[in-house]
Amino acid sequence: MYNQIDSNKRRTVILIVIFIAVILALGWLFGNLYDYGYGGLFIAIIISTGMTLVGYYQGDKVALWTSGAKAVEKADNPYLYRIVENLCITTGIPTPRVYLINDPAINAFATGRDPEHSSIAVTVGAVEKLKNEELEGVVAHELSHVKNYDIRLMTIVIVLVGIVSLLSNFMFRANLFGGRRSSNDRSEGGAILMIVGLILMIFAPLVSSLIQLAISRRREYLADASGALLTRYPEGLASALERIKLENLPTRNANNATAHLYFANPFSGRKISTLFSTHPPIDERIAALRQMA
């Protein structure tokens, strides 16, 4: 577990460096082809630095906002709040901010940059449909992501992938609607820029999925194992996964950028749900948990 925490911290730094390098390269290309010189590179530096800082410090708020999560206090939902609070005492981390998502599907996610600045969001469907030990298993799984620093890695990926997508769209539209291009490269350079922008626009969703997969499905198995260790009852988590499998409902406000945050694949029930899934097959997760019992 401690190795996983160190690994996630290193991966966060590596991902940030790679994304900033890509953005700076695109800025340099844009500046040269459009005769802005180092202006394009300077703009890219500002964008990459600013958005990375926003992602690090505010990415959790973006994820919560897009999911439609609403903050709850202990008085609003004492049942859910006490489950989170009790498990946090057991695992030795601060109690995160607790949110409810008005969605009948059974799901949950954790987000934030570290255990001291974390949040956990649970769907209404999970609270209403799961038995106490099942809901405890789901919450324990998400708190394991918090303790293992998975949340920092997952949150920063959302924003960094968004930067590349935004920049690729900008490059493509800049050429499509005209701009100040170099007199020497007006035709050839413009064509290159349009092709680069078009390729990035087409492959941005694919790259996003591959990066999310690169974060590794292993972290879901680790969080399952850590959550089962926390509750001392693997069957509770396995039973919750079985309910999700039988119900097969998609989570309404989930999207490709935030899918990897969720406890279970939020696209269940859709024809594309297994394509580039950020989660291991649910049957394999259930089998692994029942081997622990």
The per-residue pLDDT string of the chain (293 residues; one tens digit each, 9 = 90 and over) reads 566 567 766 776 777 777 777 777 777 776 666 666 666 667 767 776 777 777 778 878 888 999 999 999 999 999 999 999 999 999 999 999 999 999 999 999 999 888 999 999 999 999 999 999 999 999 999 999 999 888 877 767 766 666 666 666 666 666 555 555 544 444 555 566 667 656 665 665 566 556 656 566 777 888 898 899 899 999 999 999 999 999 989 998 887 778 888 999 898 755 444 555 668 889 999 998 998 86
Look up the pTM and report it.
0.76
- Helix orientation angle between 150-176 and 132-147, rounded to the nearest 10 degrees: 70
What's the sign of the alpha-carbon dihedral 239, 242, 248, 253? Answer: positive
Task: Kindly provide the residue ranges of all beta strands, DSSP E only, lying in 94-220, ordered along the sequence.
Answer: 97-101, 108-114, 117-123
- Whole-number pLDDT of residue 149: 84
Torsion of CA 262, 267, 273, 276, to 10 degrees: -40
Domain ranges of the chain: 2-62+160-214, 68-151+221-292
The listed CATH number (3.30.2010.10, 3.30.450.20, 3.40.190.10, 3.20.20.150) that belongs to domain 68-151+221-292: 3.30.2010.10
The residues that bridge with 114 in the sheet, in sequence order, are: 117
| C-alpha to C-alpha distance for 220 and 28, rounded to whole angstroms | 38
**Residues 6 or more apart in contact with residue 11 via CB below 8 angstroms:** 153, 215
Q: Which of 85, 128, 136, 142 is catalytic?
A: 142
CA angle 37, 42, 46 (to 5 degrees): 160
Q: Kindly list the distances between the CA atom of residue 215 and the CA atoms of 11, 57, 127, 138, 153, in Å, as whole numbers in the listed order.
A: 8, 20, 28, 20, 8
DSSP 182: -
Using only C-alpha atoms, what is the Rg of the chain? 21
Chain position carrying tokens 């081997």: 291
**Residues 6 or more apart in contact with residue 126 via CB below 8 angstroms:** 106, 107, 108, 135, 138, 240
| C-alpha to C-alpha distance for 204 and 110, rounded to whole angstroms | 25
Torsion of CA 195, 255, 140, 291, to 10 degrees: -70
**Does the active-site annotation cover 142?**
yes
- Whole-number pLDDT of residue 176: 58
As a whole number of Å, the end-to-end CA separation of the chain is 20
Chain position carrying tokens 């106490």: 132
| C-alpha to C-alpha distance for 82 and 90, rounded to whole angstroms | 12
Structure token digits, residue 209: 């999925």
